[in-house]
Amino acid sequence: MTALEVNGLEKSFGGLRVTAGVSLAVEPGERRLIIGPNGAGKTTLFNLITGELKPDRGAVRLFGRDITRIASRRRPHLGLARTYQIITLFPDDTLLRNVMLSLLGLSRRRWNPVARLDRQSDLIAAAHAALARVRLGHLADRTLTQTAYGERRRVEIAMALAQNPKVLLLDEPFAGLSIDERRDVQELLAAIPREVTIVMIEHDMDVALDFAERITVLHFGEVVVEGSRAEIVSHPRTREIYLGE
């Protein structure tokens, strides 16, 4: 059984076909990379998988279960988590609070209007642990505005990991990072256990190629090449798309 599967996904905006029939299958534990030039429809594909966009045609399956009709807010409960290209965290809250919100999202406690959030010790401990996992434990009480960009990227990832996902979608996790910061994130990703299947969108070829086992190349909303690292790098179409030959 595949971890994540999409079949014939199509999406158009007005006259523009952004996703033109994409099918792919990701095995459990796999590290998949989706690359393609700007406008290839990578983020739209993620949005279709998470349910933020409804496909015009096609299906999405999570561990065999058809989730195409399931509301996007239910999918984290089924084990799907994602990070965003643009950091969308809660700017006025501390890092700890940010991660706690992530943890609450899956907990029945989020509906509780009388308990004190600050007294939920198990939640607080779990949030500390989640921050420690991305080596930000020492900044738990800083607000987001007091952290550097690279640190915020790691908080993004911590938020997603805190929900114990089975499938993790990372949208350009290396965007805008310095060399040191990239190394930090790389180590972080390498340390994620195989129980979590990871699909990553990236632009930066060098860093991403280290990470990926299989690579899917998108162009104009279609899958044009798919294969292992070596296959992709030597494929003439990849050269064509990226180097314009």
What residue ranges bind other proteins (CB under 8 A)?
Answer: 13-14, 50, 52, 72-77, 82, 84, 88-92, 97, 100-102, 104-107, 109-118, 120, 148, 159, 163
CB closer to other proteins out of 154 and 214 = 154
CB closer to other proteins out of 162 and 241 = 162
CB closer to other proteins out of 160 and 241 = 160
**3-state secondary structure at position 23:** strand
Task: Collect all residues with Cβ–Cβ distance below 8 Å to 48 and sequence separation of at least 6.
Answer: 6, 9, 11, 19, 54, 55, 58, 60
Q: Give the shortest CB-64-to-other proteins separation in angstroms.
A: 21
Q: Give the shortest CB-101-to-other proteins separation in angstroms.
A: 5
CB closer to other proteins out of 34 and 80 = 80
Q: Give the shortest CB-196-to-other proteins separation in angstroms.
A: 17
Q: Give the shortest CB-100-to-other proteins separation in angstroms.
A: 7
E strands, the chain, where?
A: 4-13, 16-26, 31-35, 57-62, 65-66, 80-82, 167-171, 197-201, 214-219, 222-228
CB closer to other proteins out of 49 and 212 = 49
Ordered strands of the 197-201 beta sheet: 80-82, 167-171, 197-201, 31-35, 214-219, 222-228
Report d(CA 181, CA 243) in Å as an integer: 27
Overall size of the chain counted in residues = 245
Q: Give the shortest CB-118-to-other proteins separation in angstroms.
A: 7
